[in-house]
Structure 1
Amino acid sequence: MNRGGRTISRQSWREELHATMALAWPLMLANLTMQLIQATDVVLLGWLGPKELAAAALALSLSFGMILFALGVLTASSPMMASALGERSNAVRDVRRTFRQSLWAAVIMTIPTMIVLWNAEPVILALGQEPELARLAGIFLRGYMWVIPSWMLFQVMRNFLSAMERPGWVLVISATGIPLNALVCWSLIFGHLGMPRLGIIGAGLGSSIVWAAMALALAAVILSDRQFRRFQLFGRFWRSDWPRFRAMFRLGGPIGLTMGFEGGVFSAAAYLMGLFGASSVAAHQIALQIAATTFMVPLALGQATTVRVGLAYGRRDRDGVALAGWTAFGLSIAFMAVMATIMYAFPRELITLFLADTAENASVIALGVSFLMIAALFQIVDGAQVVGAGMLRGLHDTRVPMVYALFGYWAIGLGVGVALAFALDWRGIGIWMGLAAGLGMVAVLMLWRWSRRDRLGLLLVSS
């Protein structure tokens, strides 16, 4: 295949496909298992009733944008460590510096996030939601907010393992967390196995306990593995390194805002759904859980291509950059096309995995089916935009993609959604159509920028 006058052999494509999948498949499974931990909470709360499910949806939506912003900032450590490993000069020292400042960033972002979640009930009331839903959401978050510090630490360590191209331990620990979370939350929500019956707060507390255990387990791996010990990642982590800290936020701040804009628009959608009643919120949360589960695979491919592009960028390998980017993109499009087909063919069956098919739940199920049909339409562009962003991050290009995200998600996505929902009275369907339009716009913009990377000077590497 020819790229810019240079021919890339089929063997090179096969080798890149193998390397990408070797890195991506543990990340895919780890992402899926982490998403399934939250999906388990949704299922269990659905057993409590639609009102509890709707309250948890509002609670999770309040935290979603802040969590994605934090994830984006911490994501900067992945290409920074990958580039250092690609250059090889002073790699151990540079990786250690980046890891330690990631810990600093995690602590700094944890504090305001937890303050907001502690005061969730008045915030949710101020956003125009039903008082009872706001009260239940606040109760849930008093247990769930303690997930944040453990989750942040887990992400920092996960980025290190991804840059080292050894994400297998993330998969093992995350996979163990699924049944553990189901057991602990089930026991605390319904009062089984000698535990008190805590109801909705039990789901939050259970997830907090499980995430703490997962973070401690991953830390134990890093401290005990011979390959990782040489980095001395946790040694003197309290020492300041302001140049590296600022570099992390210069790169990670735009990534965080990009991801926060996406998460924020889905959070805004949940609160707009609240204006149409608890059934709309519950249906939105179920459809979103299904769409978020399929999204975990292209998200992992985006994470993998950030590392693969970053390694090629660090080696000054122009063809390697192209190979890494387009390989992950092709895989993402293929996977999401299959997911779109499944969603379109079996929407009701998917919705009733989360909610019993009873007369009491009929309105929620009907709305969920309509939302999921629209989610099927935007699967391919959702995969394209997240991998496109990952490709650009490997080149340390984050600021312009941030602007694209703001425009696409909020001006187009939310603007179209509000117009359709209220001006044309499409209600929840209009909100989801707006989300589809926003994702499509961001995908087009990301790929346009990637295709012009040479002309824009993003590849400051030799041929």
Structure 2
Amino acid sequence: MSLPGRSYLHSLGMQSLWLTFAQLAPFSLGFIMHRILGTLDTYGAFGLLDKLSFATILGGTGMMQALYFFCGKNLGQGNEDGYKHSLANGLFLAFFLAVSLSTLIYSSGVLFRLIGIDPHLSHLTDELAPFMAIIIVPTMILAPIKIHLVLNQKAGHVSFLFAFGAMVGAILCYFVMEREDLNPLQTTQGILLAGGIANSLILLASIPFCLGTRVKFPGPFLLSSSFSWQSQKEIISMGWPISGVILLENFAILLSLFMIGTFWPQYTAIHTIALLWVSIGLLVSLGVSQAIVQRISILWSQGELLEGRRFCLVAIMITLGFSTALMYAFSYYPYETLSLFHQREFSGIEVKKMVPFFMMQAGILCTLQSLIIVLAAILRGIGQTRAPLVQALLGYGIFGGLSQYLFAFSLAMGATGLWFGMNLGFAITVLILFRKVVEEINLFRIH
């Protein structure tokens, strides 16, 4: 079997690159906040809360991905009223999710105490949670607006909006850090408030862009008259499998973070930063996944199966190549990569010695998770939206959760066992998904 040529690599690679840049802008404000808060004693509590918030936002926005199908179908058929109706109901659902998820984040301190998180971390979480909840509301409402702009060929405007928000957030964070009368907790609260203000400004700034699209954004009258339980059910029915996969994926990661915070709180900061680097490393695979799901859905509908398989192989090759390079960087430069978000001295020699291990395992996790994202995207491209859910349940939920407990406690490996168990669960998920992809599209038949 000969691999696809350079033309496929260049075509998919360039499209993935632009989509990666589009993904980078929304994450940039979060990176700035991590960079600043990495110098404070409150970073461990912030990291716990941020990871929980990140998982809930991904789960909520994952459900909103169904709008790509409903709005895209109406757009392709020239049904402008149907498009606006679907988008209006997507906005209703986004508002409901915004209220529900922000309430969950607001009460996260109680949740952390119930599962036995370190009391000091739980107390700090209580103080930070209301400010983190402020960030959730505009972020969720922005999800259908972003989809509307992308479907109307305004993806560049989306990147501009988030870049604008990151710039405003960075300026506000700078003013907070300049205040010498604030203690670390108040500084952290101020940084989170700056993030909430920046996201709210992005939401306000998106309104003129929405009014200037080819298909006009639904006005107040249509919003008030378009609510339909049937439409809500259709969006949820198509969106929940995507959301379920994302939540199961984050379940294994959150489980490791909660166990670290409960039994080995001294490692919370470096564990959080290692997971943050995993999130950063996934930006490329997210770009590749968006590119391949667009390519394969079009090629499959046109009956171009050989072309579709070739692009699938190229997507896997790009993902493996970048992830391997990142794993090398994490393994050989652990302190340098960690110090980009952690400028304080480590709390002890034992913690410092664990940094290379944590970063090496983060590189492995990033590689495995990147492959999962791309393989799941391939399945979505051929219409298998619910197929990855079963694989995710087995790999993330069962193997990922149980193996963490087995390695950490039954085999008495402690914090190192959590990483071994987590990566084992992700590796099993990769194998299950890869087998499913090979069976569904006959992956290696490219001639």
TM-score (norm 2): 0.88
Q: Distance in 2 between matches of 1:362 and 1:38?
A: 29
Identical pairs, percent: 20
Residues 99, 391 of structure 1: alpha-carbon distance in 2 compared, 3 angstrom cutoff: farther
Q: What's the offset of the Cα at 1:392?
A: 1.6
- Partner in structure 1 of residue 34 of structure 2: 42
Deviation per CA, 1:32-78, whole angstroms, max 9, x where unpaired?
A: 333332232222222122xx111112212332332221121012223
Give the C-alpha shift of residue 185 in structure 1.
Answer: 2.4
Contact 1:174 1:214 in 2 (8 A): yes
Distance 1:298 1:91, change over 3 A: farther
Closer/same/farther in 2, CA of residues 90 and 26 from structure 1, 3 Å limit: same
Measure how far apart 1:438 and its partner are: 1.8
1:253 equivalent in structure 2: 240
Deviations 1:206-260 (A, max 9, x none): 1111111122223322222xxx232434562331244433222121101101001
Q: Supply the distance in 2 between the matched residues of 1:82 and 1:17 (Cα, whole angstroms).
A: 27
Task: Please name the residue that 1:460 is paired with.
Answer: none
Give SS of 2:263's match. Answer: coil
Counterpart check, 1:352 vs 2:339: yes
- Cα RMSD of the aligned pairs, angstroms, is 2.9
* One-letter amino acid of the counterpart of residue 141, structure 1: A
Instruction: Name 1:96's counterpart in structure 2.
Output: 84
Please report how far the alpha carbon of residue 105 of structure 1 lies from its aligned counterpart in structure 2 after TM superposition: 2.0
Deviation at residue 17 of structure 1 after TM alignment? 4.7
Q: Which moved more, 1:63-72 or 1:92-101?
A: 92-101
- Please report the TM-score for the alignment, with normalisation by the length of structure 1: 0.85
Task: Find 2:162's aligned residue among 156, 171, 174.
Answer: 174
Which range moves more in the overlay, 55-64 or 413-422? 55-64
Give the C-alpha shift of residue 363 in structure 1. Answer: 4.9
Where 1:55 maps in the other structure, the secondary structure is: helix
Whether the aligned pair in 2 keeps the contact of 1:30 and 1:174 (CA below 8 Å) is: no
Q: Structure 1 residues 84 and 381, CA, compared in 2 at 3 Å: closer, same or farther?
A: farther
**Counterpart Cα distance in 2 of 1:182 and 1:319:** 47
What corresponds to 1:418 in structure 2? 405
State whether structure 2 residue 371 is matched by structure 1 residue 375.
no
Which residue of 388, 393, 403 corresponds with 1:406? 393
CA distance in 2, matches of 1:72, 1:200: 28
How far has the Cα of 1:193 moved from its partner? 12
1:237 is matched with 223
Is the contact made by 1:139 and 1:200 (CA closer than 8 Å) also made in structure 2? no
CA pair 70-146 structure 1, distance change in 2 beyond 3 A: same
- The residue type paired with residue 60 of structure 1 is D
Amino acid at match of 1:30: A
Query: Contact 1:23–1:162 (CA<8 Å) still a contact in 2?
Result: no
- Structure 1 residue 359, shift from structure 2 partner: 5.4
| Residues in 1 aligned to 2:9 and 2:125: alpha-carbon distance in whole angstroms | 46
Segments of structure 2 that go 5 or more residues without pairing to the other structure are 443-447
Q: 1:199, CA displacement in angstroms?
A: 2.0
SS in 2 for 1:146: helix
Equivalent positions of 1:50-199 (< 5 A) are 52-82=42-72, 88-90=76-78, 92-164=80-152, 166-188=154-176, 191=179, 198-199=186-187
1:23, distance to aligned residue in structure 2 (A) = 4.4
1:14 paired to 2:7? yes
Query: Structure 1 residue 289 and structure 2 residue 276: aligned?
Result: yes
In structure 1, which of residues 357, 373, 388 is the aligned counterpart of residue 375 of structure 2?
Answer: 388
8 Å contact kept, 2:293–2:380:
yes
Change in 2 beyond 3 A, CA 1:66/1:308: same
Matched letter for residue 139 of structure 2: W
Residue 111 of structure 1, CA deviation? 1.9
CA drift of 1:172 comes to: 2.2
2:329 to 336, 342, 346: 342
Aligned residues between the structures: 439
Amino acid in the other structure paired with 1:452? E
Q: Return the alpha-carbon distance in structure 2 between the equivalents of residues 394 and 96 of structure 1.
A: 25
- Report deviation, 1:426: 1.7
Question: Residue 148 of structure 2 aligns to which amino acid in structure 1?
Answer: F
Aligned to 1:301: 288
2:203 matched residue in structure 1: 215
Q: CA 1:193–1:393 in structure 2 vs 1: closer, same or farther (change >3 Å)?
A: farther
Give me the whole-angstrom Cα distance separating, in 2, the residues matched to 1:289 and 1:111.
26
Q: Does the CA contact (< 8 Å) of 2:26 and 2:159 recur in 1?
A: no
Q: 1:429 to 1:444 in 2, by over 3 A?
A: same
Instruction: Give distance in 1, aligned partners of 2:298 and 2:394.
Output: 30
Contact 2:264 2:415 in 1 (8 A): no
Pick the aligned partner of 1:24 from 16, 41, 47: 16
The residue that corresponds to 1:5 in the other structure is: none
Deviation at 1:291, TM superposition (A): 1.2
